[in-house]
Amino acid sequence: MSQPIVFMFSGQGSQYYHMGKELFAHNAVFRQKMLDLDDFAASRFGVSVLKEIYHTANRLSDPFDRLLFSHPAIFMAEYALAYALEQKGIRPDCVIGASLGEYAAAAVSGVLSPEDALDCVLEQAEIITETCRNGSMLAVLGNPKLYQDDPLLHENSELAAVNYQSHFVISGERGHIRKIIDDLREKQIPHQLLPVSYGFHSAMVDQAEHPYKRFLARKSIRTPFIPFISSATGEAETDIQADFFWNVVRKPIRFREALQVAESREKGLYIDAGPSGTLAAFAKQILPAGSAERIRTIMTPFHKEQTHLQQIEDIILSSPGRRL
């Protein structure tokens, strides 16, 4: 039996300017899908997201944190990559979404049409921008037990995600997060401020709940035709209700549990379809030693997408029982 393929989709914090640039330049299917999605976004939004992603004035190192652009940009790049893979015959047997990546996972698995998924992403960005105060998200390289043990952390932030045994993310008000950064720096605990302007997965986004749920209630949501494992629940989802897409914004991210569900079914080939290889890096920390060869990234800030894509094709061609 051939090795099952799992597509993984990451969320806010994985984006950067010029993501997918090599694919956009050299992969006609990826480029056309990005253009199609950009046309849809522009018809609703009034401006081109692609021009923001690939504008020559924007440097790779510049923070890409304006939600009205970064939100759709992440979805567009992820869905376009998944579509390009499928056109090559590399089709998922399962998808895992994490945070904003749940929308790309939903589109690939058939829960939402690509247009409806992008519409939800755009609406979410607009509602959060209009209703929520700015906030911050901070990744901490340390035992998650630190969150409960340190009053400065658990009294001034919310636990947004536990990604593996030595990596967690907190979310909260900017002033509080700055104090936490100062404390972590003094204690020499590694940390990284994410390129995010809002406190997702915390009470910082609660003002968006009712207007967003009213919008979601108008969407047509279907049963997935590809198994869909959610990091909002850490489970495989079959009967998805509209409120689910609010929960992926508000609830803590449970990627570790989602990955373990996929792995418990059968050891698969994990393809990170996100911009940065974030989930691939997490998966290498979660899965047993010796699993690294089963975890693959395509898009990275170093623009080696074509090479990575060819490597995945070669792996699948050599897999017994599977041909492109």
Count CB atoms within 10 A of the CB of residue 107: 26
109 catalytic, yes or no? no
Tokens matching residue 3? 């090795």
Could you tell me if 81 and 27 are in contact, meaning their C-beta atoms sit under 8 angstroms apart?
no
Residue 201 near residue 253, CB atoms below 8 Å = yes
Q: State the Cα–Cα distance between residues 53 and 318, nearest whole angstrom.
A: 35
Contact partners, residue 47, CB within 8 Å, separation at least 6: none
Catalytic residue among 10, 14, 99, 202: 99
Long-range contact pairs involving 141-150 (C-beta distance under 8 Å, separation at least 24): 141/166, 141/167, 141/189, 141/190, 141/191, 141/192, 142/166, 142/167, 142/168, 142/189, 142/190, 144/168, 146/189, 150/183
Interacting residues of 176 by C-beta distance below 8 A, sequence separation 6+: 156, 157
Rounded Cα distance between 287 and 150, Å, is 28
Residue numbers annotated as active site? 99
